[in-house]
Structure 1
Amino acid sequence: MDDLSSLTRRQLDDARASAHGRSAHLFLQDGPLRQTVIALIEGAALDEHTTPPAASLQVLHGRVRLTGTGDERDLIAGQVVPVPHERHGLKAMQDSAVLLTAVTATKTMN
Structure 2
Amino acid sequence: MTDHQEPVALPGLAAGLLREALEHPSRRAARTVASRSSQRATVIALAEGADLGKHDAPSAATLQVLSGRARLETADRTWELDTGDLLPIPPERHGLHAITDTVVLLTVALR
SS in 1 for 2:81: strand
Structure 1 counterpart of 2:22, one-letter code: R
Indicate which of 68, 85, 104 corresponds to 2:74.
68
TM-score (norm 2): 0.91
Number of positions where the alignment pairs a residue of Structure 1 with one of Structure 2: 105
Indicate which of 81, 86, 91 corresponds to 1:80.
86
The residue that corresponds to 1:5 in the other structure is 11
1:41 matched to 2:44: no
Cα shift at 1:68? 2.1
Give identity over the alignment, percent: 41
Instruction: Structure 2: give runs of 5+ residues left out of the alignment.
Output: 1-6
Structure 1: distance between partners of 2:19 and 2:74 = 27
Structure 1: distance between partners of 2:47 and 2:75 = 22
SS in 1 for 2:17: helix
Cα shift at 1:7? 1.1
| Structure 1 stretches of 4+ moved >3 Å | none
